[in-house]
Amino acid sequence: MGTDKKSEPLNRVDGRAKVTGKAKYFAEFEVPGVTYCVLVTSAITRGTINTINTKDAERAPGVLAVFTHLNMPVIPGWANPANPNAKPPSGGEKYQILGSNKILFNGQPIALVIADTLERAQYAASLVKATYNKATHQTDLLKNTEKAAMPGRFGDYSRGDNKEAHKTAPVTLEADYTVPVEVHNPMELAGILAIWEGEDKVTVYAKTQGVKATQRTLAGAFKLEEKNVSVHSEFVGGGFGMGLRTWPQEVAVVAAARQLKKPVKLVMTREQMFNLVGHRPYTIQRISMGANKDGQLQGIYHEATAETASYDDFTEGTVAMTRFMYACPNVTTKYRIVPLDRGVPIWMRGPGEATGAFALESAIDEMAHKVNMDPVEFRVKNFTLTDPEKNKPFSSNNLKKAYQLGSEKIGWSKRNATPGAVKDGEWLVGYGMSTGVFGAHRGESTCRAQLNADGTLVLQSATSDIGPGTSTAMVQIAHEVTGLPIKQIRFELGDAALPPSGSQGGSATVSSVGSAVYDACMALKGVLADAGLTFEDGAVKPAAGKSAGLPQVLAASNKQFFEITKSSKGGPEQQKYSMYSFSIHFAEVRVHPLTGVVRVKRVVTVADSGRIVSPKTAASQMIGGVTGGIGMALMEEGVIDHRFGRMVNKNLGDYHVPVSADVPHIETIFIDEPDPYSNPMGSKGMGEIALIGFSAAVANAVYNATGKRIRELPITPDKILSA
């Protein structure tokens, strides 16, 4: 590893379990005596509950309890379960689920109804009736920009003199961009199943992207020792970020289970998934840019204003990319958040960057057009091998090669630079491209390796797999270090009792957990060497001059297996280099001039993400990310009727995600060059870059097709017709 050797494309090691139903998701665990929780949610957006009538619900058949703010059991360590560090920027009120009669957002839970069957709980929930004292609410960011505040994280940034650059730059542009509320909507619904043993020990099956994080949250909430909180989440049916928190209603269910002394399961409804498990925040952005006539960037100003909740300041790196992506002497970025009477946002695939890249990469295209330059050439012209923000070299950066490979594959030379010039029948044809970037993070992670007498190798780490194929990648890493056959290696995850790892987020799992697997397997080699054994030809063999094999050596030392646990994290190289993963997206679109319909016809996506550890699942990641990007570009939007503060399209019939017919052939290209510094495998993250920037590639292609610049996502037919 860390070499030029390419990895084999492996099928998913758990693929069979997933398609045969053997893989169990949290809601599928059968627990004797389990009871079912249904949430009753607020119909108003801000105010207080005046009365809440639970009598009919309590009397309904099968009902065990109805919890409201009047009788919710106290949660001992519950400062603010949404986010213990939350400091509302407005000095707003704290949100404690069922903690008071206050309503802070539409769809907020106002009661938990628990019954012996799901249907009975649902029926009883429909009998809970609340009356409210409504207060005026604010959910429209555009009407509340005066409340925009600089958050604690992501302060202003400036290098050079942007104002001066703007005055002197011969070519300038200024444009505003909007990214709407988007909702993760993984297939699997969110929730938790909690089983207490007495008052001090609890087991949960949860939909979470971090079993350790859920363990910490629950241990904190119930003042338990972490070892007394078992968290299981072996399989997760997609997360895209919504599983990075253990949400207040989930903590409340654990509290209810303790009170009732019965296992309680909550599976949220699809509608509740639109309000209670975060979303990509509505964000408006302004970019102004100056360049020389030869295309050299002189200045970029990028300001983003995003929504957050009145009770919790959510922040993300929306303007980060602008600081380092291009060689530009004068750069200013500002990031503001506006507290609204809405549920709190959360990271959604490509958090921050996906929003920022839509603006920056659209603006770059606009500028390239202004200076009469090919957008690829324009980017190459402003390419930098040193991160101008941190003044450090990139650990690796093969963007130039990526531009070239992608251009060739899509047939960029066929692109006519004049908008609206190419037709296919009635349809206008356009080509567009963009760049995506995300930090190549590596966190601390631990792995235990156990080599059994039969030669099977078991690796364990408390990480998650929300779909990218984590186990497959880990098995592949272990296979490449030890040479053992794939079939002999098993990776175990999704249990908080395993050696600790971070949550699956920020595209860091292969880098973090993979490094621990790598280190554990290397250490295992040492253990074997000490015992006179060695990995050779895909098996454990006696070392040179020895004759005893693995079973004999183990038997002689009275052991059943060899084991070693290794913790792994980055070293000083993390400080020395600027580490990012890059993607280039090329899209060919068709736009119908009369109906405004946009179809993505062909996609080429190039990932410069170091050495590719698992080529097949990596390609799936890119395809999935681009598919999400098509949704972001053309259809995804959570619509809020601000008169009511309520989302109106909170179902999958009205909130559109791409269907098969929307997704063309997606060609994936990997640079597949090891990064010398990122980690022992030379890999960098992929999950985020697969989506980041893609929406701009589509918007740019739409411009090339029509001459219309759509700066407000999603690009729906009405916007094309009105532009």
Partner 1 sequence: MKQFSYVRVTSGKAAISELSKDKTAMFLAGGTNLVDLMKSGVTNPERLVDITRVPLATIEATKTGLRIGALAKNTAVAEHPLVLKHFPLLSQALNAGASPQLRNMATVGGNMMQRTRCHYFYDTALPCNKRNPGSGCGAIGGFSRMHAIFGASDKCIAVHPSDMCVALTALDAVITVTGAKGERKISFGEFHRLPGDTPEIDNTLQRGELITAVDIPFNDALQQTHYLKVRDRASYAFALVSAGVALSLKGNNIADVRIAMGGVAHKPWRLKEAEAYLKGKPATEEHFREAARLTMAQAKAEEGNAYKLTLAPNTIVEALKLAAANGNI
Taking phi first (over 0 means left), then psi (-120 to 50 degrees means alpha), and beta for anything else, what does residue 310 get? alpha
Q: Is the dihedral of CA 695, 696, 700, 701 positive or negative?
A: negative
| Cα separation of the two ends of the chain | 51
Q: Quick one: which segment of 140-148, 258-266, 377-385, 639-647 binds partner 1 (CB under 8 A)?
A: 639-647
- Footprint (CB under 8 A) of partner 1, residues 663-682: none
Among 20, 91, 660, 665, binds partner 1 (CB under 8 A): 660
Number of other CB atoms surrounding residue 605 within 10 Å: 31
> SS3 breakdown of the chain: % helix, strand, coil, rounded to 5?
30, 30, 45
**Applying CB under 8 A, which of residues 59, 71, 595, 676 lies at the interface with partner 1?**
595
Nearer to partner 1, 11 or 126 (CB): 126
Phi and psi, residue 279, nearest 5°? -165, 165
- Region binding partner 1 by CB under 8 A among candidate stretches 416-424, 477-485, 582-590, 658-666: 658-666
Q: Is residue 594 close enough to count as binding partner 1 by CB under 8 A?
A: yes
CB closer to partner 1, 380 vs 657: 657
**Residue 641 binds partner 1 (CB under 8 A):** yes
Please state the φ and ψ torsions of residue 128, each to the nearest 5 degrees.
-75, 125
Q: By rule CB under 8 A, what count of residues binds partner 1? A: 36
Q: How do 109-115 and 35-41 pair as beta strands? A: antiparallel
Nearest to 714 by CA among 656, 660, 653, 640: 656
Asked if 377 touches partner 1 (CB under 8 A), the answer is no
Closest CA to 260 of 52, 37, 53, 41: 37
Q: Per CB under 8 A, which of residues 197..256 are in contact with partner 1?
A: none
Q: Which is nearer to partner 1, 66 or 297 (CB)?
A: 66
Q: Which two tokens stand for residue 550?
A: 């693995």
Q: Is 716 in the site for partner 1 (CB under 8 A)?
A: yes
Could you tell me the smallest distance in angstroms from the CB atom of residue 271 to partner 1? 9
| 556 is an interface residue for partner 1 by CB under 8 A | no
Q: Rounded distance, CA 429 to CA 701, Å?
A: 8
User: What single letter denotes the amino acid at residue 132?
Assistant: Y
Q: Is 544 helix (H, G, I), strand (E, B) or coil?
A: coil
Among 339, 658, 680, 682, binds partner 1 (CB under 8 A): 658
Name every residue whose Cβ is closer than 8 Å to that of residue 347 and which is 6 or more positions away in sequence. 241, 244, 278, 316, 505, 506
Least gap, CB of 126 to partner 1 (angstroms): 7
- By C-beta, is 418 or 660 nearer to partner 1? 660
User: What span, in angstroms and rounded, lies between the C-alpha atoms of 64 and 262?
Assistant: 10
- Contact pick of 11, 50, 71, 126 for partner 1 (by CB under 8 A): 126
> How many other CB atoms are found less than 10 A from the CB of residue 167?
11
157 class by beta-carbon count within 10 Å (0-12 exposed, 13-18 middle, 19+ buried): middle
Cα–Cα distance between 425 and 250 in angstroms, integer?
Answer: 54
153 — phi, psi (to 5°)? Answer: -90, 160
Stretch that binds partner 1, among 138-146, 241-249, 250-258, 590-598 (CB under 8 A): 590-598
The answer to whether 116 contacts partner 1 (rule: CB under 8 A) is: no
The residue range among 246-254, 300-308, 477-485, 588-596 that interacts with partner 1, by the rule CB under 8 A, is 588-596
| 646 binding partner 1? (CB under 8 A) | yes
Question: Which residues in the 282-311 window bind partner 1 by CB under 8 A?
Answer: none
Given the residues 307, 353, 637, 688, select the one marked as catalytic: 688
Binding of partner 1 by 123 (CB under 8 A): yes
Q: Does 662 bind partner 1 (CB under 8 A)?
A: yes
Contact by Cβ (8 Å): 616, 421:
no
Three-state secondary structure call for residue 649: coil
The token pair at 710 is 């759509």
Can you name the residues that pair with 539 across neighbouring β-strands? 536
Question: What sections of 306-431 are H helices per DSSP?
Answer: 320-324, 353-370, 375-381, 399-410
* Phi-psi domain of 545 (left: phi exceeds 0; alpha: psi -120 through 50; beta: other): left
Does 187 help bind partner 1 (rule: CB under 8 A)?
no
Q: Which of 621, 624, 585 is nearest to 603 (CA)?
A: 585
**Is residue 597 a contact residue for partner 1 (CB under 8 A)?**
yes
How far is residue 322 CA from its own chain's centroid? 20
Decide whether 245 or 650 has the Cβ nearer to partner 1.
650
Contact of 602 with 410, CB cutoff 8 Å: yes
Task: Confirm or reject binding of residue 596 to partner 1 (CB under 8 A).
Answer: yes
For the segment 397-436, give every residue that binds partner 1 (CB under 8 A).
Answer: 426
Stretch that binds partner 1, among 343-351, 389-397, 513-521, 593-601 (CB under 8 A): 593-601
Indicate which single residue of 543, 644, 709, 712 sits in contact with partner 1 (rule: CB under 8 A). 644
Tell the smallest beta-carbon distance from residue 278 to partner 1 (Å): 21
- For residues 28 and 641, which CB has a smaller minimum distance to partner 1 in the complex? 641
Among 649, 707, 709, 712, binds partner 1 (CB under 8 A): 649
Q: Does 643 bind partner 1 (CB under 8 A)?
A: yes
In the complex, the smallest distance separating the C-beta of residue 349 from partner 1, rounded to whole angstroms, is 19
Rounded Cα–Cα distance for residues 372 and 368 (Å): 6
Q: Which stretch binds partner 1 (CB under 8 A): 4-12, 95-103, 393-401, 649-657?
A: 649-657
**Minimal distance, residue 648 CB to partner 1, in Å:** 4
Q: Closer CB to partner 1, residue 408 or residue 641?
A: 641
Does 602 participate in binding partner 1 (rule CB under 8 A)? no
What is the signed CA dihedral for 509, 512, 513, 517, rounded to 10 degrees? 140
688 labelled catalytic:
yes
CB atoms within 10 A of CB 156: 12
Nearest residue (CB) to partner 1, 31 versus 597 = 597
Min dist CB 598 to partner 1, Å, is 10
Question: What's the closest the beta carbon of residue 265 comes to partner 1, in angstroms?
Answer: 18
Q: Which stretch binds partner 1 (CB under 8 A): 171-179, 300-308, 355-363, 656-664?
A: 656-664
Binding mask 33-62 for partner 1 (x = CB under 8 A): ----------x-------------------
Asked whether the beta carbons of 617 and 468 are under 8 A apart, the reply is yes
Closest separation between CB of residue 657 and partner 1, Å? 8
Comparison of 43 and 327: residue with beta carbon closer to partner 1? 43
Cβ distance to partner 1 smaller for residue 75 or 698: 698
For position 133 contacting partner 1 by CB under 8 A, the verdict is no
Check binding of 656 to partner 1 (CB under 8 A).
yes
Q: Which of 71, 391, 416, 722 binds partner 1 (CB under 8 A)?
A: 722
Please report the DSSP string for 160-195 in residue order.
S-HHHHHHH-SEEEEEEEEE-BB----SSPPEEEEE
Residues that bind partner 1 (CB under 8 A): 43, 119-120, 122-123, 126, 426, 592, 594-597, 599, 634-635, 639, 641, 643-644, 646, 648-649, 651, 653-654, 656, 658-662, 716-718, 721-722
Q: Which residues are catalytic?
A: 688
